[in-house]
Each structure stands twice: as C-alpha cells, then as structure tokens.
Amino acid sequence: VNIRAKVNRAFNTSMEVGIQVSCEDLFCDRHWKVCHAYATFVTQRTNTGQKVLLRPTVAHTQKEQVEYSVAAERRRVRMLHDDIIRDLLSDGFIQQADSSEVCNAVTAEKTRVESVELVLPPHANHQVNTFGGQIMAWMVNVATIAASRLCQAHPTLRTIDMFTFRGPSQVGDRLLLRAIVNNAFKNSMEVGVRAEAYQQEGPNRHINSAFMTFEVLDDGRKPCTLPRIRPEPLEGERRFQEAVARKKIRLDRKYIISRKQSEVPLSVPWDPRNQVYLSFNNVSALKTLAAKNSWRLSSEKDQVRLYTLEQKSVLSFRVEAEVDVPAERAFYLLADMSNRTSWDTHYKKCELIHRVDDDDFIYRVVTPSVHQGSMGTPTSSNQAGGILQDFILLASRRKPCGIGDPYVIALRSVSLTTHPPVEGYNRGEVVCAGFTILPSKNKSLVSYYNQASPEVLPYISTDIAGLSSSFYHTFCSCSKYLTTHRQQQGEQAGKNLPLQQEEIPAEPKQQEPGVPGENPCLHGENMPTPCRSAAARI
C-alpha cells in the first residue's frame, strides 16, 4: 500500500493536505488507486490561547500550482456545505418519506449499532491525542456492521462524506460509537456514524461525525439492488431526508467537478442547489488553464502578446499585457461585465439576468455574427445570413487568498429555463474563459484566457494564423477603458452592479434549527481544538 500526502496550501491558521492511496501487487506487476482525499489541518493553540500562523507554501511545478490555486475554491465549497443541505431541505426539494411505500422494508432501528472502545497509548501520538486514523477505523467498523444488518451481506465502502473532527480525544477516554442506516437507495445506502468521548466523570463529548456510502457487489463486481428502509418517526425521517440531500450533492459533485472537463456538457443547467459546484468548476477550470506551462507565443505587438496552447485537439489562447492601473481597480472594472460593450467590439449587448451572490453573476451576452465584425474575420459557416450569437454565462469573481495570488474573473456557459434559445439567435457556448490580474507595483498584468469552442474560434482564428491583429486593437481598447476609469472608486464600481429588470429574484433562506451532532462545523479555523484533520472526500 502506497500513501502519498502533500500540503497543497497553507492558509493563516489551517492547511489543506492532499492524500492519495494506491496498491501494488508485487507478483503480478499491477497497480490500482484506492482513494483520494483532501484533509484540513488546524494549528494548535499556544499556552496563551493564540493560534500559530503558518508560513505560506510555494508551488513550483505545474501540478503544485494547480492544487495551490484550486485549494482556495475547495475551502469555499467546504464552508458552504451545510448551507446547501439546509437550502435543499427548506425549499421543498426533498420529499417526505412515504411509509406506505416502505411498509415491507427493513426498519432503520434494526440497523442501529453501538460500540465502546478504550483509547490506549498505542492509539495516540506523543501528545496523548488519539490518532484521527484510529477513530476513523473504529467508525468504519461500526458503519460496516450497520450496513451488513440491512443487506445481510458483505458491504463495500465507497465514499466518506465530510468526515469532521469536532473535538479532541486523549488516552484513557472511552469512545462511544453509534451507527445507523439513514437511507437505502437502489444500489447504495448511507450510514451515519457519531463518535462521543467520555471518562469516568463528566458528560459525553461529541468529537466526530461522518456519513458513509456502502454498496454490495455481486460476483461480477456489479452493485446489487438493496432492500428499502423504513425510517423512524421524527429523527429518523430527518436523517432520511438529509441523506437524499447529500446524495444530490454527491451527484452534482461527481457530475460537475470530479469528471474530466471534456466529459461534462458545456451548458450545465443552473439552479441554486448546484451553484456552488458550478462556481467551483468555473474558477478551477480557469486556474488550471492559466497554470499550464506549454503556452507558445504566437504574435506580439507593442507589448500585447498572443499565446496559444494545443492539447488533445483543443485550442486555447491567451492575450496579456501590462496596464498602468492598480490590480484591485482593474479587477472591479473588468468584473462589471455590463460595461464590456464600451471597449469590446465582440460584445454587442451584455445584460445581467441574475445576481447569484456578491461574487457570482449570470449574464446574457449577444455578439455580432462573425462576418459583421469590424476586425476582418471570416464568416462562419454556421452563421450565414448574419445571425447574431448569444451566450448565457456564469461569471465568478475571486479576490486573492494570499500574496502572489491573482484576481480571477472566470466565465463558463450555463443554461437557464427562464432564458431558452430564441429565434434569430444562434445559442453559443463557452467552455472556459476569463481574466487573471496580477499586481505589479502600481500596475497590473492582465491576462485573458479562452478555451476556444466552435462558436468562439472564428473570432480569433485569423489572429492566430497571423492574418490580422484584432486581439491587439481589442486589448488596446480594454487598456484605454481601464486607464480612463483609473481614479474612480473601484470597489464601488464592482459591488454596485446594476440589476436588470429580468433579474430572477433570490429566494429567501429559511433557517432551520441546527441539530446537535448531525451538522458538524466544516471550517477548520472555527474549531477550538488542537491540530486535527477533516477528510472532505474519500
């Protein structure tokens, strides 16, 4: 068994560690992956109660740069996980459990398991704190027993969802481990596990929670159909519904994030329940593209440079130049896409149709047909007759999380039921595009990236071929726009984005009372315990 762990990024008082586990058969010369996880560690407090500040990590290789950059977005997803669960439950997305349908099902009470373990010196480190891995192993054991009681077979662990350490445990503690099957789907089941620590005196301390997904495989390694489960009233029904919400989140995560970009449809349907994962994919895709180290200089004119990148029949381009504008000011100006029509001739119209939150917006962009453009580009065969193109774009803006990080404005196509394709417009799609802005003294290095789709390529193909320099004129217009508005209050320009009449009103959140032990804190920096880890995904 090979275990590789590496610190991806250090935030002020916490760090993300990437973990990969693989196996090797020495006799058959065979290798296979076992699991992949991200763990968040928090620094231990000093004797005065203050947290230790971590030194920032330095990324050297391309892979390290990608992990370093995307770690900030993963942190954002972890912090919003509980909010997504609450929203799914409060907006009526999760249906109530129908007892009539599951009258012949296994009662959840039959799957309940309790176990007590004594923490001995071999189970702890030199600071007498219980190993997190030991607690995880005990929790997996009781969860496996609970799953076996439902299926009456040998279950296989597939995922562990948000394994969170809430408090410390020391040598001499008794750990009370409770597990129960929360819900059984067609081919999988979710088991909830709770760990409490206690000593001879004093109350039980809730130290850990996790939700584990199990499957039962047949002889052909295919998932078997599982029995239905009948939840207990009140608490059981709540766990039943929350399990459905977590399954929905796992599907979004697998569909939008975990799969390769080429396997995901360009215009993924947007709704508030998958917004956090679409934004993650949006920002991480741009950061990954920007971290590539095989860009080739295609053209340069007056310090405005055009780069290209070809990988597996996919063409991407990058245009960059230095502008005499502070990075933060340039960020707020470029983030307000409603003003892009004033400097980009490829934008005929840009309207804000939905303000998701302070950092994510959805725009409808109208572009002229290729042969109508003023840059001398050829006519696309798909746009004969001068049909306009429109795009529905999710714009995600992010400030730097640390020194050396760029400002990011990421764009990707999404689809909205309220804005279907309309007659007279050719609905285009953007795979990955956006700006990165790096501060340089009192100037900015502005880079624009675009992974060219068939609808976008005709606008830039003649520049790449060296037949025109429209990229230069567009970037000069952008630079002039930035310098003209250099002295205004940048932050106000970015925050007070105009709302169009078509904007979809945001639904108010209905906060449900928290349930102790079932919704653990996700953000490590808010956990008042010594150094510990939380595996976000296994």
- State residue 184's pLDDT score: 92
- pLDDT at res. 361: 94
pLDDT for 502 equals 36
C-alpha 187/C-alpha 228 separation (Å) is 10
| Residue whose tokens read 């394994």 | 163
Which pLDDT score, from 0 to 100, does residue 62 have? 80
Burial of residue 49 (number of CB atoms within 10 Å: 0-12, 13-18, 19+): exposed
- Give pLDDT, residue 459: 62
Question: CB within 8 A of 172, min separation 6: which ones?
Answer: 119, 199
Both tokens assigned to 442: 């009192």
Q: What is the DSSP string of 452-472?
A: --TTTHHHHHHHHTTS--HHH
**Which pLDDT does position 200 carry in this prediction?**
80
Do residues 123 and 136 lie in contact, with contact meaning Cβ atoms separated by under 8 Å?
Answer: no
Tokens of 76: 């954002």
What is the distance between the alpha carbons of residues 370 and 373, in angstroms, rounded to a whole number? 5
Say what the pLDDT of residue 169 is: 92
- Distant-in-sequence, close-in-space partners of 206: CB < 8 Å, separation ≥ 6: 166, 167, 194, 195, 196, 516, 517
Question: What residue ranges of the chain have pLDDT lower than 50?
Answer: 99-100, 372-385, 489-538
| Residue 406 near residue 340, CB atoms below 8 Å | no
Domains and CATH numbers, the chain: 2-263+528-537 (3.10.129.10), 273-495 (3.30.530.20)
Which pLDDT value is given to residue 379? Answer: 34
For the segment 384-408, what is each residue's pLDDT rounded down to a tens digit?
A: 446 788 999 999 999 988 778 899 9
